[in-house]
Amino acid sequence: MSITDLPFRNDFYKVMLDQMSEGVYFTDTERRILYWNTAAEQLTGYNSQDVVGSYCNDNILRHVDCDGCSLCEDHCPLFDSLKEGRQVYKRAYLYHKKGYRVAVDVKVSPVFGSTNQILGAVEVFSDASDSIVLENLNQTLRKQLRIDLMTKLPNRRALMQSLKDEFIRYKRYESTFSLVAIDIDHFKQINDTLGHPTGDRALIWFANQLTSVFRKVDTISRYGGEEFFVLLPNTAADTAVKAAEKLKIRLNEQPCPVTGEMLTASIGVTSLLATDTLRSVLERADQAMYRAKESGRNRICAV
């Protein structure tokens, strides 16, 4: 028995397959296309005369994965299904006859004969464009939940997640980290005398100073109001203090262009202790920052 003996060549089964909203095609074990339904034509722009008799690896549809890598050789789901005798699922992109890309969800199943030999395969594929749009929207929303809308820095939620990740890394690899708490000095006076819109612009300027001083691997977050935290992974206390000193120098170099006055900060620095919890390391950094503020502001306190 060969796959050509299967009933998809029967007019009744062809009518049934042509009623499906998913694209369907059958191949033999050499990946030669034997049948191509109406939905496959609609999704790809290629009719059955274009593809029946050709081989999947002729790359007519130019299947690529989400990274743009070709699927027609090493990562072909049809090839894997035929070789391993199992169903294969894949999110892929094919090229329509008119040249544009179409996102599709692909399911390939091997077709077995009466003696359990593989006769060929059937691929069912459907338009995944709506799913892609929804996934991108969800990803955007998840990102927005972790971003402070004013400064565009990570917010408190993002900081807490980064801290949790660092604790996991510490337990696994014993890699330390440092935490810097930063509070803008006399910020309430800016809001009271110049107004909240000016205060907002000053916060944005201050956030830009932070991003220019700290590293890209550091999590620079607006914790709330005029308070910021910076998480420095794989960083000892002395290195964190040097980074804080660099920020202090930057802030004292020139006035804030928004207010016309110096915008200084009280800074607390701490590093992870073996007995720390997420809460304790946050509180210690915060306490160090308040000590700096009580000591006269515009200074650094490390504990």
Catalytic residues: 226
Q: How many residues does the chain have?
A: 303
Q: How many CB atoms lie within 10 A of CB 226?
A: 21
190: phi then psi, degrees, rounded to nearest 5: -65, -50
Helix runs in the chain, H state only = 11-18, 38-44, 48-51, 77-84, 129-145, 156-173, 187-194, 196-213, 237-253, 278-294
88: phi then psi, degrees, rounded to nearest 5: -130, 130
CA angle 56, 60, 61 (to 5 degrees): 95
Cα–Cα dist 224/269, whole Å? 18
Spatial contact of 27 and 121, defined as CB atoms under 8 Å apart: yes
